[in-house]
Amino acid sequence: MEIIKAIILGIIQGLTEFLPVSSSGHLELGKAILGDTSVGEESLIFTVVLHFATALSTVVIFRKDIIDLLKGLLQFKWNSETQFAFKIGLSMIPAVFIGLFFEEELEQFFGSSIMFVGFMLLITGALLFLADRAKNTTKNVSISNAILIGVSQAVAMLPGISRSGATISTSVLLGVDKTKAARFSFLMVVPLIFGKIAKDVLGGDISFESHQIIPLSAGFIAAFVSGLFACTWMISLVKKSKLSYFAYYCFIVGFIAIIYTLLN
């Protein structure tokens, strides 16, 4: 992969990981437009590296929250931080299950059908449209909420379904406060991505050839920097109930992707 392509895809990942428009879907669309011919496994490796970059940007943005969580856990008490960490753990179970037992099937969706991505973007748009009309509340994420939000995160492993869009929309539709929904959505993916990277590295599933290192590094940096901006912006947008704008965007891009496939 050329360096300029890697940078462009990194910026796409950084912006769309936090904005509810599907980072994986936009990566697949970007690869198609840029003429990237990576096979499924190579395409997935690049996607994982870019997700790792945005996970680090999440850590930077929420560093105070993460430090508070770690301090609370070290007290070995059933305090608010321990409860929050427990809920994050529960939310990870569905995605971990899919990752462990259906990874090969999941890989087939990457670098494959642009039309599929288009249809999934339409679903993302519908979720955002409904969530934007939900009433404001002050409700926290409950244990049952965490499990359901986790299921939506597992579904969002498909390219075209926005992870942040699906998890935030699910949270809001369950009656969770919008700001708390965004915080939970962004924090719940951090251990999942780090765990995925650790599993692949230790298991020898990710290996880089010399010609891949520079493009991957360029994409990583681009995703990290743009992710810092997008994460901060998204928190503000959720508070202001601006999700419908992204719903319309997903509808437009989804239809374009479908039409693009039909004409080629």
Residue range 144-164, pLDDT digits in tens: 999 999 999 888 888 788 888
Own/partner long-range contacts of 135-142 (Cβ < 8 Å, ≥24 apart) = 135/175, 136/177, 136/178, 136/241, 137/175, 137/176, 137/177, 138/177, 139/175, 139/176, 139/177, 139/180, 140/176, 140/177, 140/180, 141/84, 141/87, 141/171, 141/176, 141/180, 141/181, 141/184, 142/87
Confidence of residue 43 (pLDDT cuts 50, 70, 90): low
Q: How many domains does the chain have?
A: 1
Angle at the Cα of 77 from the Cα atoms of 75 and 83, rounded to 5 degrees: 110
Report the alpha-carbon distance of residue 66 to residue 78 in Å, rounded.
Answer: 17
Q: Phi/psi at 76 (nearest 5 deg)?
A: 55, 45
pLDDT tens-digit readout, 127-138: 988 888 877 788
Return the structure tokens found at 158: 């498909």
- What's the confidence (pLDDT) of residue 40? 47
pTM, two decimals, is 0.78
Return the structure tokens found at 56: 């680090």
pLDDT at 114 over 90: no
* Pick from 44-53, 85-94, 131-140, 201-210: least confident: 201-210
- What's the confidence (pLDDT) of residue 88? 92
- What's the confidence (pLDDT) of residue 39? 43
Confidence of residue 32 (pLDDT cuts 50, 70, 90): confident
Confidence of residue 205 (pLDDT cuts 50, 70, 90): low
Report the alpha-carbon distance of residue 39 to residue 111 in Å, rounded.
Answer: 7
Residue 72 sits in which domain range? 3-262
E strand or H helix at 38, and its extent? none
CA dihedral 100, 161, 174, 177 (to 10 degrees): 110
Report the alpha-carbon distance of residue 86 to residue 49 in Å, rounded.
Answer: 27
pLDDT tens-digit readout, 169-185: 999 999 998 888 888 98
